[in-house]
Amino acid sequence: MKLLEGKKALITGASRGIGKSIAMKFAEAGADIAFIDLKRDENMEAVEKEIAGYGVHGRGYESDASNMEQVQQTVDQIVKDFGGIDVLVNNAGITKDTLLMRMTEDQWDAVINVNLKSVFNFTKAIQRSMLKQKSGSIINMSSVVGVSGNAGQSNYSASKAGIIGFTKSVARELGSRNIRVNAIAPGFIITEMTGQLSEDVKKQWAEQIPLKRGGKPEDVANTALFLASDLSSYITGQVIQVCGGMNT
Ligand code: NAD
């Protein structure tokens, strides 16, 4: 029997990068996949096709994770289409890096709204359905810089630290209802988000990593699979750092 056979997962920001890798890993493990991203584009359609290749149901929905009204409507539609959701992965995120001295209010607000408010939006919207089922696993994508901080990323680090506080609080609220809430804090993972960095910066990052390489999206997806499945049924309120030993 596959690890997620018969389960239904909802993943945000899954048209590319880490979210897409999680969608594929979960589909391979037997789950039906609903996912959202900002636009129905060729990336979203390609992910739908790849999911179908695993013999499970996959459907992408257009939604802005930072907009509560849109999220509530999308989640209601997904719960109707899929008949409930067992696993929520709050993965959508952006960066707008600059030193505090140069950071505008818009750069602050955008990162907090997309990275942190989105986690509130989706968790709140799915909560009732998971409470009715009396089970669920919620996985929130934080970052090592939410633990350690990083110069030039005060908005991003604050959003990712906020996710950790939210994760631990909601884990305490929902534990008695058999709903687990955990966070993953990836280190330096090679995706389009980090692809914009110069070769020099990438080299500097790699030097700080005991395992001497950037992570692959699949390294994060494997951890998400563990947290989504019953293999982690006694784990809640935790932050697992997937960072090659960078943050110890
Ligand atoms: P990515 O930029 O490749 O993918 C992010 C996805 O989220 C994109 O498909 C994008 O369209 C979507 N998205 C952005 N804003 C959205 C919104 N408002 N509503 C819906 N979807 C939206 O990034 P990634 O590297 O795959 O990162 C995924 C998550 O992992 C993010 O939360 C990121 O902060 C976190 N993370 C990444 C790294 C890394 O090194 N790549 C490290 C730590 C944490």
For residue 223, give the CATH number of its domain: 3.40.50.720
C-beta 232 within 6 A of ligand 1: no
**pLDDT computed for residue 247 by the predictor:** 86
Give residue 15 CA to ligand 1 midpoint distance, Å: 10
How many Cα atoms within 13 Å fall on the side-chain side of residue 178? 10
Confirm whether 79 is domain-assigned.
yes
End-to-end CA distance of the chain: 36
**Per-chain mean pLDDT for the chain:** 97
**pLDDT computed for residue 194 by the predictor:** 87
Q: Distance (Å, rounded) from C-alpha 61 to C-alpha 180?
A: 25
How many Cα atoms within 13 Å fall on the side-chain side of residue 238? 14
Q: By three-state DSSP, how is residue 244 classified?
A: coil
Give residue 114 CA to ligand 1 midpoint distance, Å: 9
For the chain, how many residues are written? 248
Give φ, ψ of 215 to 5 degrees. -85, 160
Q: Is the pTM of this model over 0.75?
A: yes
Q: Distance (Å, rounded) from C-alpha 228 to C-alpha 145?
A: 23
C-beta 21 within 6 A of ligand 1: no
C-beta 18 within 6 A of ligand 1: yes
Residue 61: which domain range? 8-239
Q: Distance (Å, rounded) from C-alpha 183 to C-alpha 180?
A: 10
Q: Whose CA is nearest to atom 31 of ligand 1?
A: 93
Catalytic residue flag (residue 156): yes
C-beta 35 within 6 A of ligand 1: no
What does each C-alpha distance from 171 to 114, 123, 180, 244 come to in angstroms?
21, 11, 6, 26
**pLDDT computed for residue 224 by the predictor:** 99
35 touches 47 (CB < 8 A): yes
C-beta 196 within 6 A of ligand 1: no
Comparing CA positions, the residue from 97, 107, 189, 109 lying closest to residue 152 is 97
pLDDT band at 34 (very low <50, low <70, confident <90, very high): very high
Confirm whether 1 is domain-assigned.
no
Total count of domains within the chain: 1
User: Based on C-alpha coordinates, what's the Rg of the chain?
Assistant: 17
Return the best residue to mutate from 63, 68, 73, 94 for the ligand 1 pocket (most ligand atoms within 8 A of CB): 94
Identity of the amino acid at 59: R
List, in sequence order, the alpha helices (H) in the chain: 17-28, 42-52, 68-82, 105-111, 118-133, 145-148, 154-174, 192-195, 199-207, 217-228
Ligand 1 atom closest to the CA of 144, numbered from 1:
43
pLDDT in tens, 123-161: 999 999 999 999 999 999 999 999 999 999 999 999 999
Give residue 17 CA to ligand 1 midpoint distance, Å: 7
Confirm whether 183 is domain-assigned.
yes
Q: Residue 169 CB: number of other CB atoms within 10 A? A: 12
| Residue 54 pLDDT > 90 | yes
